[in-house]
Amino acid sequence: MPTEAEFIFPHLIVAGVDEVGRGPLVGDVVTAAVILDPEQPIEGLADSKKLSDKKRELLFDEIVAKAKCFAIGRATPDEIDDINILQATMLAMTRAVEALSITPQHVLVDGNRVPALSMSSQAIVKGDARVEEISAASIIAKVTRDREMAELDKEYPQFGFAKHKGYPTKFHFEMLEKHGVTPHHRKSFKPVKKALGLL
């Protein structure tokens, strides 16, 4: 059965793109680009935020096994601090698309903006709930970043990164105040600036 994107663009190679990690105070913003295989449909694709951790992990493995190709793009905390989170997200999306082993002819991006790409593209608001390619990208990006936060948690167990994934929670604020800023924090974000005494 064709994906929704193939009904709309039946003769084009379409990639879906999404990001995870614009809001956290720590770590990379992570993006993914995915080209699905209509011959190998994947049941249950949805906005990654609406899925349980277990379901996301299972779908991640299925996407990796069945997609025609996928790629990860990212921007580091230093890049985020240099060019701001929006521009860093666009850069990470461009990197994900450029890293695909198959060059798409059209790119569907979750949200209301598209990055600078060499092929046609369009933004789709709530695309991660409406377009399978974008749903798949949201799952790949989310699981990738969550795993990285679990690894960072081992390095800085006092911060609880495995639980809050670097987002600005009350506990995270308390740990910033108590332990200071790690090299992985985004220094341009207000709570981190405050912890550094720059506000």
Decide: pTM greater than 0.85.
Answer: yes
Residues 6+ positions from 142 with CB-CB distance below 8 Å: 20, 48, 49, 56
Q: Which residue ranges make up each domain of the chain? A: 4-156
> Which class is 4-156 in CATH?
alpha beta
Calculate the dihedral angle through the C-alpha atoms of 161, 72, 117, 11, rounding to the nearest 10 degrees: -130
pLDDT recorded at residue 48? 86
Residue 89 corresponds to which tokens in the numbers above? Answer: 């997200």
- Asked if 24 contacts 166 with a C-beta cutoff of 8 angstroms, the reply is yes
pLDDT by residue, tens only, the chain of 199 residues: 345 555 456 678 999 999 999 999 999 999 999 999 999 999 999 888 899 999 999 999 999 999 999 999 999 999 999 999 999 999 999 999 999 999 999 999 999 999 999 999 999 999 999 999 999 999 999 999 999 999 999 999 999 999 999 999 999 999 999 999 999 999 999 999 998 888 7
| Residue whose C-alpha is closest to residue 48's, from 149, 142, 113 | 142
